[in-house]
Amino acid sequence: MAANARPRMPTLAAHHREPPLNRPDPDDVELELFIRGLQLRHGYDFSQYARASLKRRVQALAIATGSRTIGELTSRVVRDDVLLPTVVSAMSVPVSEMFRDPPVFRALRAEVLPILASYPHINIWQAGCARGEEVYTLAILLEEAGLYDRCQIFATDFNDAALAQAQEGIFPVTEARQYAENYLAAGGAHTLNHYCHAKYDHIKFDSALRRNVTFANHNLVADGVFCEAHLILCRNVLIYFTNPLQDRVLGLFRNTLVRGGFLCLGSKESIDYSENAREFVALNRRARIYRLGAPSA
């Protein structure tokens, strides 16, 4: 037993733990470090974004910026502020289309606008407006319902570049046919040409359509209530969020809406996993239009 009495020298093996059995892929580890780096260095928090699509976006960004790996992209992003707008754009809500899912806008026209018409002044929040396709959609819808002059639209996004584009109201002409078809399918009163003109390779919407629109930077991840709204449109934004963040944002919407106010989400979105969504009553489930609590008497 004498040999055992001597203090044992620590061996390398004692410090080197076996790698865990289902250890994550390098790409997944690098993705987490990228998220942490953006948060520490730039204050943008993407930790509550669902990982499957976030990974695709970040991988695409790595390729677009000439980085061989997400890890290489991370070290560039934390050292180079110039790269940040590119990163923020790549991480934000993608391009939408005008009157996407036409039946939704038919439903808004038929079931929501008549109720909104009873308010002397109507506040509408377009949350995550990206390049503004839905802002102009909404403005046209309100114009044709004769309500627009009583409306204030707040169009927000956390991506300043997208906001600047939204303010321009310019879209590629290649999209025009789809938009025009959607507009008619949504029950438009004219043709889309009534509101825009084509020039070279783009279409430009009348500036009059944004006379009651305020574009502002707002980050659903971090920012709070900034207005009282009668209608919130936030379509295909929360699908990118984990359940806890989705719940937080639905709480923000609840606190923003007036009693009996309306919330319109994307056509495939599910709020079944959110506590804060319990106060929303489906008005038109297919169109994902909800109403907050019982309407005030």
Partner 1 sequence: MNDRGRSSAVVIGCSTGGLKALRSLLGALRADLAAPVIVVCHRGSTDDREHLVELLAQAAPMPVQEPDERSRVRPNVVHLAPSGYHLLIEADETFMLSVDARVNFSRPAIDVLFESAAAVYRERLLAAVLTGANDDGAIGLKAVRARGGHALVQSPEEAEADRMPRAALQVAGADAVLTLAGIADRINQRCP
- Part of the chain binding partner 1 (CB under 8 A), chosen from 183-191, 211-219, 237-245, 281-289: 237-245
Nearer to partner 1 (CB atom), residue 93 or residue 151:
93
Nearest 5°: phi and psi at 122? Answer: -120, 125
Nearer to partner 1 (CB atom), residue 80 or residue 275:
275
Considering only residues 273, 278, 281, 282, which one is a binding residue for partner 1 as defined by CB under 8 A?
A: 273
Does 270 bind partner 1 (CB under 8 A)? Our answer is: yes
Does 266 bind partner 1 (CB under 8 A)? Our answer is: yes
Between helix 84-91 and helix 51-64 the angle, nearest 10°, is 140
∠ CA 59-65-68, rounded to 5°: 60
Does 76 bind partner 1 (CB under 8 A)? Our answer is: no
Q: Which residues contact 25 (CB under 8 A, 6 or more apart)?
A: none
Residue type, 230: H
- Part of the chain binding partner 1 (CB under 8 A), chosen from 115-123, 149-157, 186-194, 232-240: 232-240
- CA–CA gap between residue 223 and residue 55 (Å, rounded): 24
Residue 160 burial (C-beta neighbours within 10 Å; 0-12, 13-18, 19+): middle
Q: How far is the CB of 76 from partner 1 (least distance, A)?
A: 23
Does 259 bind partner 1 (CB under 8 A)? Our answer is: no
Nearer to partner 1 (CB atom), residue 95 or residue 189:
95
Does 217 bind partner 1 (CB under 8 A)? Our answer is: no
Q: How far is the CB of 273 from partner 1 (least distance, A)?
A: 6
Q: How far is the CB of 172 from partner 1 (least distance, A)?
A: 13
| Residues 59, 70 contacting (CB under 8 angstroms) | yes
Q: How far is the CB of 47 from partner 1 (least distance, A)?
A: 14
Considering only residues 243, 258, 260, 283, which one is a binding residue for partner 1 as defined by CB under 8 A?
A: 243
Nearer to partner 1 (CB atom), residue 143 or residue 247:
247
Nearer to partner 1 (CB atom), residue 25 or residue 149:
25
Q: Which residues contact 217 (CB under 8 A, 6 or more apart)?
A: 156, 157, 158, 160, 163
Binding mask 41-60 for partner 1 (x = CB under 8 A): ---------xxxx-xxx---
- CA–CA gap between residue 232 and residue 153 (Å, rounded): 10
Q: How far is the CB of 190 from partner 1 (least distance, A)?
A: 24
Residue by residue, DSSP assigns 31-73 as HHHHHHHHHHHH----TTB-HHHHHHHHHHHHHHTT-SSHHHH
Sign (positive or negative) of CA dihedral 31, 33, 35, 38: negative
Task: Write down the residue that tokens 């754009």 correspond to.
Answer: 89
Q: Which of residues 81-110 bind partner 1 (CB under 8 A)?
A: 94-96
Q: How far is the CB of 232 from partner 1 (least distance, A)?
A: 19
**Binding region for partner 1 (CB under 8 A):** 25, 28, 50-53, 55-57, 94-96, 236, 239-240, 243, 266, 268-270, 272-273
